[in-house]
Amino acid sequence: MNIIVKSSVSFILFFFLSSLSWAADVSAPEIKASSYLLVDFHSGVELAEKNADKQIEPASITKLMTAYVIYKELAKGSVTADDKVLISKKAWKMEGSRMFVEAGKKVALSRMLNGLVVQSGNDAAVALAEHIAGSEAAFVTKMNEQAAALGMKSTQFQNSTGWPADNHYTTARDIVLLTRALISDYPKYYKLHALKEYTYNGIKQYNRNKLLWRDDTVDGVKTGHTESAGYCLVSSALRNDMRLISVILGAETEKARADYSQELLEFGFRFFETHKLYDKGSVLADARVWKGTKNTVPAGIVDDFYVTVQKGHYKQLKGLMELDKSLDAPIKRGDVVGTAIIKDGDQIVHEVTLLALDAVDAGGFWTKVTDSVKKLFN
């Protein structure tokens, strides 16, 4: 693709990818875990990471996908919070963390959700999976289909609970993709992840995410632990409209996973800031189109645009655009028409594609002929 730099723009643009460079005097805390990742929720910028693409056993972090699929079914209306969930013997016999439902009884889906999210009940996960899809195996198919739809390319589920199983794995980066989707797609149900306790059948159990007690800006997300997976925690905190997501996988103790998560969150909020620059649908340039019913197409972004930068660097960022100068109609909405580049001094720190925000149909015969000539001399 032929690219030109449209350096004569009279305004400054700010864009990002999923990486960030910062000064050498800013370094992430030392985290002794198998892998970890700290990401800004709005921008997707990664602020700290170790082995973020390493495939690991996720333990009960798996239940984030279990919950996501259920939230999706609730939003579709295929199930309701008032549904009565029949507790099978398989669900009742589940080991590990449980909400202590009884076989043969029917329990409101809303109560089962609390047991899944707050108490991390394996019995709740299996019973809900059976209610949604008829069997846990069929529900796991839905989980894997949803993982693929979200772009979780290094994830494979074998059950709804996170119980150790061959070929049941994910990565810190995939967990962030899921967590961002859960928070943005289902904010109503995400509130469940901030509940500190839940009582069922006379048994009160406490959320294992200790950060909910330590830090009132933390409002989720999920813990996990098995002997083979170690101690895992996905946490999220919101401060002054900036939300961070931290993933710790394979810590040695329950205390360590909470301490590491807190350290990562503090690091992110201390050294970085996030700004919303453009609303979704904003037009940032007009790209030249040849051989079409129109000469230009609006180029821009389809989602709200945020940028995360090291504190003190925001005002010194400058940007430019590279627009494809050989665009031939027809152009479809969503086609890539260029690239926006953000620079900190001479260093390129972010890039993002510009998309066509409208369609341009192919022009008539004479337009095609004249534009072909003009294009040769452009």
Average pLDDT over residues 334-348: 84
Mean of pLDDT over the chain: 90
Report how far residue 287's alpha carbon sits from residue 106's, in angstroms, rounded to the nearest whole number: 60
Annotation says 60 is catalytic: yes
Same domain flag for 46 and 82? yes
Same domain flag for 230 and 98? yes
pLDDT tens digits for 42-76? Answer: 999 999 999 999 999 999 999 999 999 999 999 99
How does DSSP classify residue 29?
A: P
pLDDT tens digits for 139-195? Answer: 999 999 999 999 999 999 999 999 999 999 999 999 999 999 999 999 999 999 999
Q: For residue 324, is pLDDT > 90?
A: yes
- Binning pLDDT at 50, 70 and 90, where does residue 24 land? very low
**Predicted pLDDT at 17:** 40
Active-site hit among 35, 43, 60, 236 = 60
Same domain flag for 11 and 65? no
In a domain, 296, yes or no: yes
In a domain, 180, yes or no: yes
In a domain, 29, yes or no: no
**Predicted pLDDT at 307:** 83
Token pair for 212? 């909910």
In a domain, 267, yes or no: no
- Among residues 271, 243, 246, the alpha carbon closest in space to that of 258 is found at 246
Active-site hit among 43, 88, 97, 120 = 120
In angstroms, the Cα distances linking 279 to 12, 283, 359 are: 16, 10, 20
Same domain flag for 13 and 102? no
Same domain flag for 309 and 203? no
Report how far residue 349's alpha carbon sits from residue 44's, in angstroms, rounded to the nearest whole number: 14
Same domain flag for 202 and 99? yes
The CATH number of residue 147's host domain is 3.40.710.10
List alpha helices for the chain, DSSP H: 63-76, 89-92, 109-117, 122-133, 136-149, 172-185, 187-190, 211-214, 254-271, 365-377
**Predicted pLDDT at 6:** 41
Active-site hit among 43, 63, 72, 261 = 63
In a domain, 304, yes or no: yes
In a domain, 271, yes or no: no
- Number of domains forming the structure of the chain: 2
How does DSSP classify residue 83?
A: P
**Predicted pLDDT at 23:** 47
Contact 268, 296 (CB under 8 A): no
Same domain flag for 245 and 285? no
Considering the entire predicted model, what is its pTM?
A: 0.88
In a domain, 325, yes or no: yes
Residue with tokens 């693929």: 148
Same domain flag for 86 and 232? yes
The CATH number of residue 321's host domain is 2.60.410.10
Give the largest Cα separation in the chain, rounded.
Answer: 81
* Residue numbers of the domain that contains 316: 3-19+277-377
Same domain flag for 187 and 330? no
In a domain, 168, yes or no: yes
Same domain flag for 174 and 304? no
Same domain flag for 188 and 215? yes
Token pair for 226? 């098995």
Long-range contacts, 265-271 (Cβ 8 Å, 24+): 265/38, 265/215, 265/218, 265/235, 265/237, 267/28, 267/29, 267/38, 267/47, 267/48, 268/38, 268/40, 268/47, 268/48, 268/244, 269/237, 269/239, 269/242, 269/244, 271/22, 271/26, 271/47, 271/310, 271/311
